[in-house]
Structure 1
Amino acid sequence: MSIRHVVLSDLHLGARDSLLTHVHGSGAIADGPSEVLASFANGLRETLADQEKPRLVLLGDALDLGLSPFGDVSKSFLQLLDAFYPANGPDLFDREIIYIAGNHDHHLWRIAQDNGFLSALQNGEIPGDLDAVSTIFGTPSHRCRLMESLITHRPHLRDASVKIAYPNWGLSDRGTGRAIVMHHGHYLDGMYRALSNMRAFLGDGEARPATMRQLEQENGPWIDFLWSDLGSAGEIGSEAGSLYEVMLSAGASHDFAEGIARRITGGLHSKLGINPKMPLKYGVTLDNLIRAGVDLTAGRAAERQRDGYGHVLGEAEIEDLGWYLGTPLANEMRQELADMPHELSFIFGHTHKPFQDELLVDGYDVPVGVFNTGGWVLDEPTLMPVQGCAAMLVSDELEVASLRLFNDPTDGVMAPVRVEGSGRTNHLADDAAEAVERASAHWSDFSRIVHARIGQEADKRVHQMLERSDADLREAAE
């Protein structure tokens, strides 16, 4: 059995709080991989030494376009290329990369949509509209122009390509009845279905769409507007800073939500002449609707984020996961495959909380294997117990195993890198565990380096928070 795909998510390249972004002491993006990234590549290279080069799948939020400038993100992506595809050494992965956009890099899908429409026009066609979503199975037809343009900065990779899919991509085997579907995970989170929630609030059907197309058509513009391009929004983007820091404080998240609502309603009035007090339905004004939508996302969702640091998934999150698997995803798979797969594995990220489990979902013959990748960004001054990171390994027989990379250190000790399955019989997990054990020296170095970096970031965050508190006290005294 061989590892054919390695799935990474939530790299947040370009973000200063990502463990992978290499930053000078001055705060500028540095050349070359960070120590964490270099050690991670070394561990993978040794683990995969006897394998045919697997394909790299980047499962959303690989680029931190939501909160980081395009230039910083671009330089950090080159750091990743230098680690995985060094000019003076062997490639770690196949040169065809699969990219599945998330919420912080949704703009990459919008660029792909635009390019697809323009290509059709150049071929003499006039499509009815942009492609809302891509098909799940098969090689994606869209290309990620930003990443492929960056690849040209590395001449030895001139034949490399990046194919982009959205919001899902997967693999299926009719012979075994197995399928794997990958989705970044943002549509499992109600804050990214805000416009569907508003539609239902106004009395027009169910809040949860039944198809992927409706889900994206209703909510994609909202995600692109507020969550995927703040990094290039100048002052407002820098004011947003790290949204997760804001979410740690109920007062701060309320002020943040109010500020966003004021900017939106004020801009509609001053730039477009639209009166925010205009009535829509049942006495609800446009201003009411905008404030409710922002509160449901940047406000109340912030409270759920704070409450959720102590567990992997709560009841509401499990319910949303069951809806996604059982309704829009199931409907899409029936259209593409004719029959539902006998055995499904579902890989997602977004939560920054790695886990693996099985979930009973209506419409599936057996429990769905559910795997979360966690993330590489520090959402708080220190990791919480359930936060951490994993890479997903996918075999040629469509089995999935989780390469658990790190979690919150317990009593100052970092747990070793290890391989875990979801509970079902899994030959890949056994084989991968042996490979990781053979590379244990490299992974021990990785754990040591990650532990040190987490400690450095924690000290820096605490220092920054104390400085802010002192500044607030001085301002209050004045």
Structure 2
Amino acid sequence: MSIRHVVLSDLHLGARDSLLTHVHGSGEIADGPSEVLAAFANGMRETLRDQEKPQLVLLGDALDLGLSPFGDVSKSFLQLLDAFFPVDGIELFDREIIYVAGNHDHHLWRMAQDNGFLSALEAGQVPGDLDSVTKIFGTPTHRCRLMESLFAHRPHLQGASVKIAYPNWGLSNGETKRAVVMHHGHYLDGMYRALSNMRAFLGDGEARPDTMRQLEQENGPWIDFLWSDLGSAGEIGDEAGSLYEVMLSAGASHDFAESIARRITGGLHAKLGINPKMPLKYGVTLDNLIRAAVDLTAGRAAERQRDGYGHVLGEDEIEDLGWYLGTPLAHQVREEISDMPRELSFIFGHTHKPFQDELLVDGYDVPVGVFNTGGWVLDEPTLMPVQGCAAMLVSDELEVASLRLFNDPTDGKITPVRVEGSGRASRLVDEASAAVERAADHWANFSNVVHARIVEEADVRVRKILARSDAELREAAE
């Protein structure tokens, strides 16, 4: 058995609070990999030394376009290339990368859509519209020109490519009836289905769409509006801050929802001349309707996510996961392959809380193996053991194992790197565990480096919050 794919998500390259972004003391992006990134690459290189080069899958939010400028993101991606594809060292992965966009980097999918349409025009075709989604199975046809252009900054990587899929990508084996499907995870989060929720709020059908196409067509523009590339939005982007910080208090969540509503109503008035105070029915104004809808989506979602910092998934989140697997995903799988896989593994990120488990889902013969990658950023200064990061390993037989890299330390200790499965018997878990054990010294060094970086970043965040609190108290006193 061999490891054919390594799945990483939520790298947030370019973000200052990403453990992978290498930043000077002055706050500028530095050259070369960060200490954490270099240690991770060394651990992976030793673990995979007896393998053919696996394919790297970046499962969304790898580039922090949501809150970081394009230039910072690009420089940080070059740091990743230098760690994974060193000019004078052993390259970790195959030179064809699969990229599945998330919410922070949804803009990359927009770019790929535009490029695909232009390519068709240049070939003499006139498509009916932009592609809403891509196929799950098979090599994606869309290219990520931004990342390929960055590869060109490293001459020794000539010919490398980045294929982009959205919102899912996967692998299937008709003989074994196994499949692995990957999705960043944002559409499991009610905040990113806000326009579907608003449609249902207005009385038009169910809030949860039946198909991937409907899901993206309804909510893709909302992601663009809210989150996709605020990093290049000047003062607005700076003031937006991080949603994770917003979730620290109920007041901040309320203010966040209010600010979204003001942006919507202000835009309608300034660009379309629509008065948000215009009455609709029974004394309800357009402004009232928008504020109620936003509160039902963004505000309530922030409340649920904040309450969930102490556990991996709550009841609502499990229900959303079951809906996604059993309805839009199952619908697309049936469109592409005639028989549903008997054994499905589903990989996602977004929550920054790694775990692996099995979930009973209607329409599947056996429980679905569910794997979450966690993330490489600290979401709040109070360290929680459920937060952390994992890399997913996918074998040539489509078994999945979670390489649990770290969880936020408690009582001054960090759990060692290890391999875990969803509960099924797995050759991959056994063999990958042996490979990690052989690389134990490298992974011990990685754990030490990560621990030091987490403690340092947590201290910085606490000092920022205390400074902000002092400023608010002084302002209130005045």
Scaled by the length of structure 2, the TM-score of the pair is 0.98
Distance in 1 between the 2:3 and 2:319 partners?
Answer: 32
The residue that corresponds to 1:51 in the other structure is 51
Label 1:195 to 1:414 Cα distance change in 2 as closer, same or farther (>3 A). Answer: same
What does residue range 432-471 of structure 1 map to in structure 2 within 5 Å?
Answer: 432-471=432-471
Q: Give CA-to-partner distance per residue, 1:173-208, whole Å, 9 cap, x none.
A: 001000000000011111111111111111111111
Q: CA deviation at 1:224?
A: 1.2
Q: What secondary structure is seen at the aligned counterpart in 1 of 2:39?
A: helix
Q: Give CA-to-partner distance per residue, 1:317-370, whole Å, 9 cap, x none.
A: 111111111111111111100110010000000000000000111111111000
The residue that corresponds to 1:299 in the other structure is 299
Label 1:273 to 1:7 Cα distance change in 2 as closer, same or farther (>3 A). Answer: same
Q: CA deviation at 1:405?
A: 0.3
The residue that corresponds to 2:356 in the other structure is 356
Q: Are the equivalent residues in 2 in contact too, given 1:61–1:103 (CA < 8 A)? A: yes
What does residue range 17-416 of structure 1 map to in structure 2 within 5 Å?
Answer: 17-279=17-279, 284-416=284-416
Q: Are the equivalent residues in 2 in contact too, given 1:59–1:102 (CA < 8 A)? A: yes
Label 1:432 to 1:63 Cα distance change in 2 as closer, same or farther (>3 A). Answer: same
Amino acid at match of 1:319: E
Amino acid at match of 1:156: H
Q: Which 10-residue stretch deviates more, 185-194 or 381-390?
A: 381-390
Q: Are the equivalent residues in 1 in contact too, given 2:181–2:346 (CA < 8 A)? A: yes
Q: CA deviation at 1:293?
A: 3.4
Q: CA deviation at 1:42?
A: 0.2
Q: CA deviation at 1:38?
A: 0.3
Q: Are the equivalent residues in 1 in contact too, given 2:408–2:454 (CA < 8 A)? A: no
Q: CA deviation at 1:285?
A: 3.7
Q: Are the equivalent residues in 2 in contact too, given 1:178–1:343 (CA < 8 A)? A: yes
Amino acid at match of 1:160: A
Amino acid at match of 1:50: D
Q: CA deviation at 1:266?
A: 1.5
Q: CA deviation at 1:292?
A: 2.6
Amino acid at match of 1:263: R
Distance in 1 between the 2:174 and 2:116 partners?
Answer: 30
Q: CA deviation at 1:281?
A: 6.5
Distance in 2 between the 1:341 and 1:284 partners?
Answer: 49
Distance in 2 between the 1:369 and 1:282 partners?
Answer: 49
Q: Give CA-to-partner distance per residue, 1:42-74, whole Å, 9 cap, x none.
A: 000000000000000000000111111111111
Q: Give CA-to-partner distance per residue, 1:263-306, whole Å, 9 cap, x none.
A: 22122212331222345567654323332333234322111111
CA RMSD of aligned residues (A): 1.2
Q: Are the equivalent residues in 2 in contact too, given 1:29–1:72 (CA < 8 A)? A: yes
Label 1:331 to 1:458 Cα distance change in 2 as closer, same or farther (>3 A). Answer: same
Distance in 2 between the 1:409 and 1:225 partners?
Answer: 36
Distance in 2 between the 1:177 and 1:215 partners?
Answer: 27
Amino acid at match of 1:12: H
Q: CA deviation at 1:459?
A: 0.9
Q: What secondary structure is seen at the aligned counterpart in 1 of 2:450?
A: helix
Amino acid at match of 1:48: L
Q: CA deviation at 1:310?
A: 0.9
Label 1:347 to 1:417 Cα distance change in 2 as closer, same or farther (>3 A). Answer: same
Label 1:130 to 1:196 Cα distance change in 2 as closer, same or farther (>3 A). Answer: same
Amino acid at match of 1:391: A
Distance in 2 between the 1:122 and 1:281 partners?
Answer: 49
Amino acid at match of 2:115: N
Amino acid at match of 2:318: I
Distance in 1 between the 2:435 and 2:227 partners?
Answer: 39
Distance in 2 between the 1:194 and 1:282 partners?
Answer: 24
Q: Are the equivalent residues in 2 in contact too, given 1:64–1:73 (CA < 8 A)? A: yes
Distance in 1 between the 2:19 and 2:395 partners?
Answer: 27
Paired residue total: 478
Q: What secondary structure is seen at the aligned counterpart in 1 of 2:341?
A: coil
Q: Give CA-to-partner distance per residue, 1:410-443, whole Å, 9 cap, x none.
A: 3211110000000011000000000000000000
Amino acid at match of 1:455: V
Amino acid at match of 2:262: R
Distance in 2 between the 1:282 and 1:433 partners?
Answer: 64
Label 1:468 to 1:428 Cα distance change in 2 as closer, same or farther (>3 A). Answer: same
Q: Flag structure 1 segments of 5+ consecutive residues without an equivalent.
A: none
Distance in 1 between the 2:60 and 2:142 partners?
Answer: 15
Q: What secondary structure is seen at the aligned counterpart in 2 of 1:327?
A: helix
Distance in 2 between the 1:193 and 1:444 partners?
Answer: 41
Q: Are the equivalent residues in 2 in contact too, given 1:382–1:454 (CA < 8 A)? A: no
Distance in 1 between the 2:282 and 2:32 partners?
Answer: 57
Distance in 1 between the 2:66 and 2:162 partners?
Answer: 20
The residue that corresponds to 1:476 in the other structure is 476
Q: What secondary structure is seen at the aligned counterpart in 2 of 1:406?
A: strand
Scaled by the length of structure 1, the TM-score of the pair is 0.98
Q: Which 10-residue stretch deviates more, 5-14 or 278-287?
A: 278-287
Q: Are the equivalent residues in 2 in contact too, given 1:202–1:281 (CA < 8 A)? A: no
Distance in 1 between the 2:14 and 2:357 partners?
Answer: 31
Q: What secondary structure is seen at the aligned counterpart in 1 of 2:64?
A: coil
Amino acid at match of 1:41: A
Amino acid at match of 1:86: P
